[in-house]
Amino acid sequence: MRPLAVAALSLAIAACAAPPLRGTGDLGLVVERASGRVMLIETSGRSSLGRIEGLGDLSHASAVFSRDGRYAYVFGRDGGLTKVDLLRARIEHRVIQAGNSIGGAISQDGRVVAVANYTPGGVRLFDARTLEPLSEVPTGSKVVGIADAPGNRFVFSLFEAGEIWIVDASDPRQPQVRKITGVGKQPYDGFVTPNGRHYIAGLFGEDGLALVDLWAPEAGARRILGGYGRGEEPLPVYKMPHLRGWAVAGRYIFLPAIGRHEVLVLDSVNWTEAGRIAVHGQPVFAVAQPGARRVWVNFAFPNNGVVQVIDVPALKVVHELRPGRAVLHMEFTPRGEQAWVSSRDDGAVVVYDGASFAELARLAAESPSGIFLTSRAAMTGF
């Protein structure tokens, strides 16, 4: 074969060296926080498919997904926004967009990625395809609890200002902002219910939660569970609970209490307290297993080597797991047959059978924290 032909053949083969065809519905990422990389996983065979490096500071990192499930958008603590191609296992785009970001969301139509920033306070909107910056919504306050809502809206809370803002990003170069003021002292996190109707922010500076009906935002915020904890002396708070993972199971919402060894149960029909469940430590995440029958809870230091499972009809703990030291996150496959749990200090991601609690797999990972599956692409409020 002559050199030209060899070159042409090599080129053709190189062009061929694409990864094998595969669906993206069973893919996900595990954040390896200490090393600035993510591990690519798949849940059908429960295996690791590789690693993607160079994502910067991934402490407290989170991720959302493109509507086709091919790309992840990873929000790093250093303000880095990284678009990862899961099929090619490589970084597609990366921008450093602010000094200190705390999370993000993707619009209902999948065209806009929003990043929430502590420093400087505000929300920045990016083109989901190119990561080109589109606009900025300055807030003058730390932004927490950002979530997407129907109508290409983003909803978030302002920590110092005590406000909830709703940004309509239908025209992402000219976002429309609705401000709800006086929602309460120091909202520290918030979330949109899975049906996209309500936004709920937890308050650190006083008792209770702020509730906004996104079908009637002009009505403002309403205080719920205002009497909770009144007159009691809370424990020192080792770690703020995360509300993004607050669990909606049927009519009940399960809330990790701040500074208490309790999970609160909120009735979403009448927005009153439906119970309190004593648990092993200060809860961090309370996550509803799809199927709404069980809620899994992890805990703050020093009780963070345990996961407890709450039975929803009984409203009590029925099972306890010990995946390893420093359990940071839990993620269910979308139909609930598997639970993926990260143990940072044992360097493991443990996969459990969602029905029998049997350990199905244990993958080695370096200081794993957040676990994010592509099924989030199809969900509102993630």
Q: Which residues on neighbouring strands pair with residue 295, listed in sequence order?
A: 288, 310
Q: How far is the CB of 108 from its own copies (least distance, A)?
A: 5
Q: Which is nearer to its own copies, 151 or 217 (CB)?
A: 151
Residue-wise burial string across 208-223, b where 16 or more C-beta atoms lie within 10 A, e elsewhere: bbbbbebeebeeebeb
User: For residues 240 and 292, which CB has a smaller minimum distance to its own copies in the complex?
Assistant: 292
Residue 183 CB, nearest distance to its own copies (Å)? 22
Structure tokens at 144: 């927490």
| Closest approach of its own copies to the CB of residue 113, in Å | 15
Interface ranges with its own copies (CB under 8 A)? 1-2, 4-6, 8-9, 12-13, 15-16, 18-19, 21-27, 42-44, 65-71, 86-88, 108-110, 150-152, 195-197, 215, 249-251, 269, 290-293, 313, 333-337, 355, 374-375, 377-380
Burial 47-82 (b: 16+ CB within 10 A, else e): eebebbeebbbbebbbbbbbeebbbbbbbbbbbbbb
Q: How far is the CB of 152 from its own copies (least distance, A)?
A: 8
Residue 88 or 179 with smaller CB distance to its own copies: 88
The DSSP symbol for 335 reads: T
Cβ atoms of 144 and 136 within 8 Å: the answer is no
For its own copies, give the closer residue by CB, 40 or 158.
Answer: 40
CA nearest neighbour of 142 among 168, 163, 128: 163
DSSP state of 240: P
In angstroms, how far apart are the furthest CA atoms of the chain?
87
Minimum distance of its own copies from residue 291's CB (angstroms): 4
* Closer Cβ to its own copies, 65 or 159, answer by number: 65
Which residue number, 56 or 150, has a Cβ lying nearer to its own copies?
150
Give me the count of residues in the chain.
382
| Minimum CB–partner distance for residue 367 and its own copies (Å) | 28
